[in-house]
Structure 1
Amino acid sequence: MFLSKLVITNALMLILFLSMYESKGASNSSGSLSVVNGANINPPLAHQKVNVSVYYDSLCQSCAQFIIRDLKNVFDSNLISIMNLRLVPWAKAYINKTNSSISCQNGPDECELNSLESCALNLWHKVDIQYELINCFEFLAIKGTIKKWKEYCLDPLGLPKELFLNCFNMGNGTQLGKTYIDQIAHLSPSPSFVPWVVVNNQPVGKDYANFAHYVCKAYRGVAVPQVCKSPLK
């Protein structure tokens, strides 16, 4: 009797093992990762964006021209659809160790504008809003009318003034600046000039005006914008 029970038990365990093995095999065959000859094969990503960081100073002429002209093309050509764009002011500023104040390459006016732009970047996280506001500030800076930023920049975009002014007047922009300066200090290599454009952690150097070429080249997704389909330089 005991032997009969043992045989029945072993048979049930074998059936259970076979059903588990078949279930596992079916799960593997329907998963997103397949194995062929011992190698993992991942399906192509539908949308793998390229990380682009632009380190700049707000009263730098070459930076302003780059932001107004070259970055505008990013939105006009829909290159932004394959980019994670990050704007970082305070590129050439430094913190005084004696009193923890910040000194900017182009003086106190630049520190003030850097603070304004820091508030803009941290209050609104949609890149198109960030760009429109920074673009407006830089355009006024080139014209020498930056003091009119409230009426020319905030009002046309319909952005709440109180929220923005609170950030600026309470010194939050300057505190954010110290965070940016610390991040920039840890870049390798460190920026030797501005604007300093980095594509997927690789600086493009003095060829920054042609950064779209590097973005298209680095892109590995399938949703290729038309601007990347023309012959790359």
Structure 2
Amino acid sequence: MVNLNLCLLTFSLSLCTFTAFADDLVAVNYYAESLCPDCLAFSKGPMNVAIDKVGSIFTLTYVPSGNAKLQSDGTLKCQHGPMECLINKVDACLLHYYPDRKDFWPFIHCMDEEGQEQDLEVGSNCAKQQGLDWDKIKTCTDGSLGTQLQMMAYNTTANLEPPHRYTPWVTVNGKHDAQAEGFALISVICKAYTGPNKPDACSSL
């Protein structure tokens, strides 16, 4: 059963209308960090294609923390520097207010198009393009709520079993699947899906 309570905590189950029954949907969790080159390539390639081709048969939980490390003062140090921590926090706030994949993924895709040049100005522009409330996202990012959400994403990633070793890290129905971290993602999702109305992309595999 899809746990919709996660949406209220921030992370991103898609609640759009699907042609499949909710209980049949494949649960894909994507653990990422905003400025990671491999994550950017995966998001713009395999994940984006999967959403387009077989998005009706899987939910996506996006967790923006990746390889961040908890420091002795309680703050996080991100692999690709302070800007990555900031954009991870933007993403966490985005997911808090916009848990529907049809809302959050176009924003993330827009940001990813800027690669490692992402910043708050890019975030503002992407929010406007997607019709999202940037002021609300930015207020969250600047305040204690953003810090809380960022730590939740970190703790979710830190509690993975087995522990993640790199990013992007993808689990399918709760289990890590390295094949899903490339263009085999569609194949993995199609094989995991046991419900009706398989997309055409599944029949060509």
Q: TM-score, normalised by structure 2?
A: 0.83
Give deviations 1:139-187, integer Å, cap 9, x for gaps: 2234x25343244201111112221121112142222111111111221
Deviation at 1:104, TM superposition (A): 0.8
Of 19, 39, 55, which aligns to 2:31?
55
Give deviations 1:53-104, integer Å, cap 9, x for gaps: 0101111001011111222212321x111101111111111222x3111111
- Structure 1 runs (4+) deviating above 4 angstroms are none
Distance 1:173 1:55 in 2: 18
Distance 1:156 1:53 in 2: 26
In the alignment, does 2:47 pair up with 1:71?
A: yes
Distance 1:156 1:191 in 2: 33
Give deviations 1:185-219, integer Å, cap 9, x for gaps: 22111111110011111211265111211111110
* Percent of matched pairs sharing the same residue: 28
> Which structure's relative contact order is higher, taking Cα pairs within 8 Å and 6+ residues apart?
2
Q: How many residues are treated as equivalent by the alignment?
A: 183
Question: Does the CA-based 8 Å contact 1:114-1:173 persist in structure 2?
Answer: no
Question: Does the CA-based 8 Å contact 1:120-1:134 persist in structure 2?
Answer: no
- Aligned match of 1:146: 119
Matches within 5 A, 1:1-233: 47=21, 48-77=24-53, 79-96=54-71, 98-142=72-116, 144=117, 146-205=119-178, 208-209=181-182, 210-231=184-205
Q: CA RMSD in A?
A: 1.6
Question: Does the CA-based 8 Å contact 2:180-2:188 persist in structure 1?
Answer: no
Deviation at 1:117, TM superposition (A): 0.8
Deviation at 1:119, TM superposition (A): 0.8
Distance 1:57 1:102 in 2: 13
Q: Residue 51 of structure 1: SS of its match in structure 2?
A: strand
Distance 1:147 1:162 in 2: 11
Q: Residue 118 of structure 1: SS of its match in structure 2?
A: helix
- Aligned match of 1:42: none
Question: Does the CA-based 8 Å contact 2:89-2:147 persist in structure 1?
Answer: yes
Distance 1:189 1:63 in 2: 20
- Aligned match of 1:28: none
Distance 1:216 1:206 in 2: 13
Distance 1:145 1:102 in 2: 19
Distance change in 2, residues 1:104/1:86 (3 Å): same
> Tell me, which stretches of 5 or more residues in structure 1 are unaligned?
1-45
Distance change in 2, residues 1:206/1:229 (3 Å): closer
Distance 1:207 1:76 in 2: 16
> Tell me, which stretches of 5 or more residues in structure 2 are unaligned?
1-19
Distance 1:158 1:201 in 2: 32
Distance change in 2, residues 1:164/1:126 (3 Å): same
Q: Residue 153 of structure 1: SS of its match in structure 2?
A: helix
2:67 maps to amino acid: K
Deviation at 1:114, TM superposition (A): 0.5
Distance 1:206 1:56 in 2: 16
